Amino acid sequence: MNVVKQLNIIQKRINKEDADSAVQKLVSLMTSLKDLQKQENYFHSNRDSKQSELQAEISELERKITNDSDNENLSDGLHCSFTELIEKVNLMKKQLAARLRDIVAVRRQIDDLPCQSEVIQYERRLSELYAQIQGKHRQTRKYYATYNAFLEIKELMLKETSLLNSIISQFQEAFSSTDGRTKLVHSMEGIVKGSQQKLERVHVGLQEEERIRNDLKQRYAAAIGEQKRCYALLKAFQVSSSVHRMAV
């Protein structure tokens, strides 16, 4: 009896211990569940915040990507503008090179031009050469005039000689009859008339030569006056140039 009681007591204690253990396990599980629920809530809340942060980061990245795209477009635009500027610069360089070549050519032409002293020397030398040429020209014209005069004298002398020979050959025959004398007189009158006409032509030519000579004298005097005026202007220009250089 006692043994049975003891067994019952032990069974009850075992059952009681199992219940307590189950309760403890249940309490432990409930605590774990609450912890898990807290963790879940924290996870959800943390997830939302992380999601917001990630969304913000995504937005920032999208903005950066957009900005990078804009920068790329801007870079492309700047590249195009830079290319155009390079082309313009190259074109301007070519134009500048052409302009420099023109300037160099002009400078060479300017360097080839004589200076003021050389111009004065050239002018004097040209004046001397012009005077020599004019002298040679007048001398040549004088020689030609003398030659032409001698040639005319020669022709006249030949004609006179021929006429005298004709008269001498026909003189005796002409005076042997009245008709012959009349023909001789008429022939002599024609000769005298022709000589007078030639003399008149020579006189007209002489007057024309005198007129040309007087005209040349007037032109020469005008040229001398113009030359003096040019020398005066050149002297004034030299003085003004010297004053200007001293002022600069």
In a domain, 13, yes or no: no
Query: pLDDT: is 43 or 188 the higher one?
Result: 188
pLDDT (0 to 100) of residue 19: 47
Q: Which of 49-63, 72-86, 139-153, 176-190 has the lowest mean pLDDT?
A: 72-86
In a domain, 97, yes or no: no
Q: What is the mean pLDDT of residues 181-197?
A: 81
Long-range contacts of 230-239 (CB under 8 A, 24+ apart): 234/120, 238/116
In a domain, 140, yes or no: yes
Q: Which residues of 151-188 are buried (b: 16+ CB within 10 A; e: fewer)?
A: eeeeeeeeeeeeeeeeeeeeeeebeeeeeeeeebeeee
Q: How far is CA 120 from CA 18, 124, 187, 235, 238, in A?
A: 143, 6, 68, 10, 11
Query: pLDDT: is 210 or 170 the higher one?
Result: 210
Q: Which of 28-32, 96-100, 128-132, 178-182 has the lowest mean pLDDT?
A: 28-32
pLDDT (0 to 100) of residue 104: 72
In a domain, 25, yes or no: no
pLDDT (0 to 100) of residue 176: 72
Q: What is the mean pLDDT of residues 10-15?
A: 55
Q: Give how many domains the chain has, as a whole number.
A: 1
In a domain, 228, yes or no: yes
In a domain, 98, yes or no: no
**Which residue type is seen at 11?**
Q
% pLDDT > 70, the chain? 58
Q: Tell me which range, 77-91, 181-195, 218-232, is most confidently predicted by mean pLDDT.
A: 218-232
In a domain, 207, yes or no: yes
Q: What is the mean pLDDT of residues 182-196?
A: 81
Given a cut of 70, whether residue 233 has pLDDT beyond it is yes
Query: What confidence tier does 147 reach under pLDDT thresholds 50, 70, 90?
Result: very high
In a domain, 216, yes or no: yes
Query: Which positions ≥6 away from 76 have C-beta within 8 Å?
Result: none
Given a cut of 70, whether residue 186 has pLDDT beyond it is yes
Given a cut of 80, whether residue 217 has pLDDT beyond it is yes
* 52-101 pLDDT, tens digit each: 766 666 666 566 556 654 555 545 554 665 576 677 667 877 877 777 77
Find the domain containing 233 and state its range: 118-247
